[in-house]
Structure 1
Amino acid sequence: MPSALPFRRVSLLLPIALAATTVFAQASAPVAPKPGTEGAQKSAQRNAETQTGTPKPAPSDADTHLTKAQADDLLASVDGILAFVSKDTHLANNKPIKRAIHTRAEVTEILRRKMAEDEGTRRMQRAELVLKKFGLLDRDFDLQPFLLSLLSEQVAGFYEPKTRTMNLLDWVKPDEQKPVIAHELTHALQDNRVGLEKWNDPQPEEMSHNEREDNLHIQTDEASTARQAVTEGQAMVTFIDYSIRDTGKTLRDVPQMGDRLAQMGSDTSGSPILARAPLVLQQSLLFPYTNGVTFEQAILQRNGVDAAFAGALDRPPSSSHEILHPDDYLNHVPVPVLAIPDIHPLLDKQWNAYDIGVMGELDVRMLTELFGGAQIAGPLSLNWDGGIYYAAQKKDVTPAQKASTASLGLLYLSRWKNADSARSFLRVYATQLPRKYEHLQQVTTGTDVDIDHLRFTSEEGDILLTLDDRTVFISEGFPLDLAKQLEAKLREVQGNGVLQNAGLSNQLPVAGELHNRLATVVNIVPLSLR
């Protein structure tokens, strides 16, 4: 999905921190209250604090500052925590790491500066418009100020790869920061091994302008999403292991803990701003942590520490499908990747290339949950079998009009494991069209409506949805005749068998995801949230 959220290196550790200690308490207790009740959560949290020695995080106070003794203790703790993390992960601790303590005002200024970077802002605006065209964000939603508010609310400490600095906070007590430091120092050790800045984002920066470049974007679109889940999942393992170190256990010793943590970590009640966020933002932000930790735990259980850490860095997964289904990653099951033909001769005279990528399993799960509800989203997304999208912008529009979804034409081809799932997806997608377009009108020929071939007109142009066997084609905003030509080319180039991942290099994954736009821009804000 549009790699649009400025959050790649952002850690949502507040709900996850509470969930980690709560889950461990429930897993360890001989008799535990039923999960999901308020009493169970409060009881488990008290037990967790007793068993692990991890205090409940206190609300941050902008007027509170560490004393010199506390600041010295915090800075001195970094070396010991780094040694713990290196031992826990088997990742080498062989490069110096700087450390600094920041005030809240300084952190806020860092956030503003990162968010104001020209390239990051352009990528965010581009992704925001595509998300709105898909209907994943409301047309009047303003992404950038929302993100700045969220980051300001959540920031807890961060490792910065460019300067190799562990940045600490002067308004949070040292004992409350130390598990976060363990999380962030995991990124420092990952950085030692693979060089996180380049490793995190192998996708080409420039928009593609020919068939070869289009398919390269598709093959690398989800690289950042999958790799972020690896880095944050690994960091969550060390966060948990450090938090429960006094018990003598690790996450590997408590196999049920990861699944419970993933379920409880998705609770956004600890973040008022995140709780108000659109579903796509909530799930995109939490995915690397909740699903990343279950992915890493699966590798830990099956193949051990070296495979879960160094192994996953050296051979990263290529898609959210593999993160959601670790066994497929471990068994080298190919991930379906659709191809795009040369559509530039049909478009380039009147349209500019705007965005291209993959709608992966996570994207489909989010989209169908938003449009059709959670009950249908899970089963339907399991039958996803590949998907790609392409967005182009009209050349004859004013600068002001470029900010409107009406300036975009959108193509989306999705393939499913069976025709019933394809038809279900077409119906779910069609039902949300009235929410996106004020003047939507269905076009019919004759008295009967062909439910597998739907055409509409709207204030933003023609809309076409068609089903052929187990593949759904969607066009929004392109003139009908052009949409039909594009459909024919897209369908013609797809094979009927499972598409193998095309190896681009030893460490460059393939496949991708629309929501990855949300993760790519996140790279401009290398911060951890709490």
Structure 2
Amino acid sequence: MMTHKWRPLGVLTLTLAATLALRGQAAAPANDTNAQTPSAQSVPDAEKPVRHITPAQAKELFASVDTILRFASDDSKLPVKSKVKRRLTTRNDVEKYLVEKMKDDKDAKRMERSEIVLKKFGLLDQSFHLEPFLVSLLKEQIAGYYDSKTKTVNLLDWIDPESQKPVLAHELTHALQDQRMNLEKWEDSDNDNLATNVAEDNHHISIDEQDTAREAVLEGQAMAVLVDYSLKPMGQSILTNPAVVKQKADEQGEDSDSPVLSRAPLLLQESLLFPYKEGLKFEVDLLADKGAEGAFAGVLDRPPASSYEIMNPHAYERKVKAPVLTMPDVHSLLDADYAPYDVGVMGQIDVRILSELFGGPQAAAALTPAWNGGIYYAVQKKDAPDKNSTASVGLLYLSQWKSPEAAAAFAKMYGDELDKQYDHVSRDTQNESDESEHIYKTSEGPMLLSTSGNSVFISESFDLTLARKLEFLMLGAQQSSTEGQSVAWSAVPRTGEGKSGMPSLTGPMMNFFAGCGVMRAALPAARF
């Protein structure tokens, strides 16, 4: 059954990716012209009392929707095709809805499944519990949302109208996007099946980051309108000083009044912010090069399909093909003892997050532009006693780099951080066949890390004989692929048809966050 994007607005921006994507049945909208007085029985926030807006303020807020919608249309050149419904909702209703959706939401389930792989990579601590933390984070950040199923913008009864109006500029841009593209179809991924053969593996890989890139487009465009709305009283816009807007975009997340976000793992912080931060910078460049029609309607008609294109807007403009590696047929070696668990792209944004976590900002700054493609493949032992443990999962990761030096730097960084992923890590030099191999003993079995020219191959929790066979297959698949045979993101179908439900490594988290709307961390980009 088709579900729908729930786009909350808040005092924060990113997806953890691209907008926390909550899908489900929303409450029926209130009458457009009769704003309902907030209930006195609303449950107060756990830390501070809720102050509801007055009926007069609610009426003012409702009336502002049409004015702000016209601004968003003029700014984006996306036409208003129909009236946008609006309703007033309470914090208690939003929190109840959030908890219910966390239990049965399709994107939430994808993210829950990916949690074990993220922990295997070391991107989340083994002891971290994702779901309860996300509930706390969303409760802190939510400030409104647009529901693309009911075509309704939801206004919050505990935020004063003046504070909500800039957020309305953001959310009403989603309404205009919806009226042009039908976001229910544009973003929908109906195929949630696991890949079970090599053809399906490579199909998933070929379109793996499409949802993440589209979320960044939606949030970046909405942020651009929000920024222009904030700059208009000063007689300015993004195009009057694009460099300053990019600088402000990089300040997103620097909100001292977000205690839950401030203690979130780096993965969550970056996943939350990617669609807003990088999406806005993408839009700034497109606005400067293509104007409003090209930056809005033009991008919606030909959306980017990878984090690489979002992070390199001029490459997107030139239709530069992003590198996609080929997955060989490993099923004959693995399927007897393992069940397929996950396959996907380790994209440029994933590498940036991992490099910053493992090596710090300088390592991330050096390695991110040197990335030249990456794929991962995870399987689960059929006889594993605990299917929720990372010990039940075997992981393969192949990355390519623009130089042997970059490959060697990444391999060293990854190896140096193994003691943060596993207990009882020790080097096993006796089993290393040559200087290209680094082998480690860990609490979850052998770990093989090898470099070959511009490539780095990593095998975790497979015995060494099997790991070397898998390495031979994965490296050989890249060497045997001709340029004409290899798949590039820019050649991927740009419609909703044929989309995969298996997002990239951090994709489930980014897509989940992005669907919730603008949040507190996004707002520094609009403060001038």
Question: TM bucket by the smaller chain?
Answer: 0.7 to 0.9
Whole-Å Cα distance in 1 between the matches of residues 416 and 6 of structure 2? 32
Inter-CA distance 118–396: structure 2 relative to 1 (3 Å threshold): farther
Deviations 1:147-174 (A, max 9, x none): 0000000101100112111001001111
Give 1:8 shift: 8.9
Deviations 1:28-54 (A, max 9, x none): xxxxxxxxxxxxxxxxxxxxxxxxxxx
C-alpha contact (below 8 Å) 2:9/2:144 kept by paired residues? no
- Match status 1:99 vs 2:86: yes
Task: Report what 2:424 is aligned to.
Answer: 439
Inter-CA distance 288–521: structure 2 relative to 1 (3 Å threshold): closer
Alignment of 1:246-257 (within 5 A): 246-257=233-244
Task: Report what 2:167 is aligned to.
Answer: 180
Give 1:205 shift: 1.6
Give 1:127 shift: 1.1
Inter-CA distance 418–12: structure 2 relative to 1 (3 Å threshold): farther
Give 1:526's match in structure 2, choosing from 504, 516, 519.
Answer: 516
Alignment of 1:113-192 (within 5 A): 113-117=100-104, 119-192=106-179
Give 1:112 shift: 0.8
Give 1:223 shift: 0.8
Task: Report what 2:33 is aligned to.
Answer: none
C-alpha contact (below 8 Å) 2:395/2:461 kept by paired residues? yes
**What amino acid does structure 2 have at the position aligned with 1:430?**
G
- Match status 1:489 vs 2:473: yes
C-alpha contact (below 8 Å) 1:14/1:270 kept by paired residues? no
**What amino acid does structure 1 have at the position aligned with 2:237?**
T
Task: Report what 1:457 is aligned to.
Answer: 441
Whole-Å Cα distance in 2 between the matches of residues 514 and 303 of structure 1? 31
Task: Report what 1:359 is aligned to.
Answer: 346
Inter-CA distance 195–103: structure 2 relative to 1 (3 Å threshold): same
Aligned residues: 479
Corresponding residue SS for 2:430: coil
Task: Report what 1:329 is aligned to.
Answer: 316
Whole-Å Cα distance in 2 between the matches of residues 328 and 205 of structure 1? 30
Task: Report what 1:517 is aligned to.
Answer: 508
TM-score (norm 1): 0.85
Whole-Å Cα distance in 2 between the matches of residues 489 and 8 of structure 1? 42
Deviations 1:308-352 (A, max 9, x none): 000111111121111111111111111000010111111111111
Task: Report what 1:262 is aligned to.
Answer: 249
Give 1:257 shift: 2.5
Whole-Å Cα distance in 2 between the matches of residues 392 and 114 of structure 1? 28
C-alpha contact (below 8 Å) 1:317/1:323 kept by paired residues? yes
Structure 1 unaligned residues grouped into runs of 5+: 1-6, 17-59
Give 1:83's match in structure 2, choosing from 63, 66, 70.
Answer: 70
Task: Report what 2:32 is aligned to.
Answer: none
Whole-Å Cα distance in 2 between the matches of residues 63 and 413 of structure 1? 51
Whole-Å Cα distance in 1 between the matches of residues 317 and 517 of structure 2? 30
Whole-Å Cα distance in 2 between the matches of residues 201 and 501 of structure 1? 22
C-alpha contact (below 8 Å) 1:351/1:394 kept by paired residues? yes
- Match status 1:474 vs 2:458: yes
Inter-CA distance 512–330: structure 2 relative to 1 (3 Å threshold): farther
Whole-Å Cα distance in 1 between the matches of residues 9 and 304 of structure 2? 20
**What amino acid does structure 1 have at the position aligned with 2:186?**
W
Whole-Å Cα distance in 2 between the matches of residues 108 and 298 of structure 1? 37
Give 1:270 shift: 3.2
Inter-CA distance 500–342: structure 2 relative to 1 (3 Å threshold): closer
Structure 2 unaligned residues grouped into runs of 5+: 15-46, 521-528
Alignment of 1:69-80 (within 5 A): 69-80=56-67
Greater shift, 497-506 or 217-226, is seen at: 497-506
Give 1:406's match in structure 2, choosing from 380, 391, 398.
Answer: 391
Give 1:460 shift: 0.9
Deviations 1:379-430 (A, max 9, x none): 11111000000111111123xx111100000000000011010011000000
Whole-Å Cα distance in 2 between the matches of residues 119 and 475 of structure 1? 30
Give 1:500 shift: 5.2
C-alpha contact (below 8 Å) 2:12/2:142 kept by paired residues? no
Whole-Å Cα distance in 2 between the matches of residues 375 and 62 of structure 1? 43
Inter-CA distance 162–512: structure 2 relative to 1 (3 Å threshold): closer
C-alpha contact (below 8 Å) 2:305/2:492 kept by paired residues? no
Corresponding residue SS for 1:353: strand
C-alpha contact (below 8 Å) 1:10/1:522 kept by paired residues? no
Deviations 1:285-330 (A, max 9, x none): 1111111111001000011000100011111112111111111111
Greater shift, 84-93 or 263-272, is seen at: 263-272
Inter-CA distance 346–203: structure 2 relative to 1 (3 Å threshold): farther
Whole-Å Cα distance in 2 between the matches of residues 416 and 12 of structure 1? 38
**What amino acid does structure 1 have at the position aligned with 2:508?**
R
Inter-CA distance 233–119: structure 2 relative to 1 (3 Å threshold): closer
Deviations 1:255-276 (A, max 9, x none): 2222111222241423111111
Corresponding residue SS for 2:251: helix
Inter-CA distance 235–519: structure 2 relative to 1 (3 Å threshold): same
**What amino acid does structure 1 have at the position aligned with 2:185?**
K
Give 1:229 shift: 1.0
Give 1:63 shift: 2.4
- Match status 1:197 vs 2:181: no
Give 1:393's match in structure 2, choosing from 373, 380, 395.
Answer: 380
Give 1:145 shift: 0.6
Give 1:216 shift: 1.2
RMSD, aligned CA: 2.5
Give 1:97 shift: 2.1
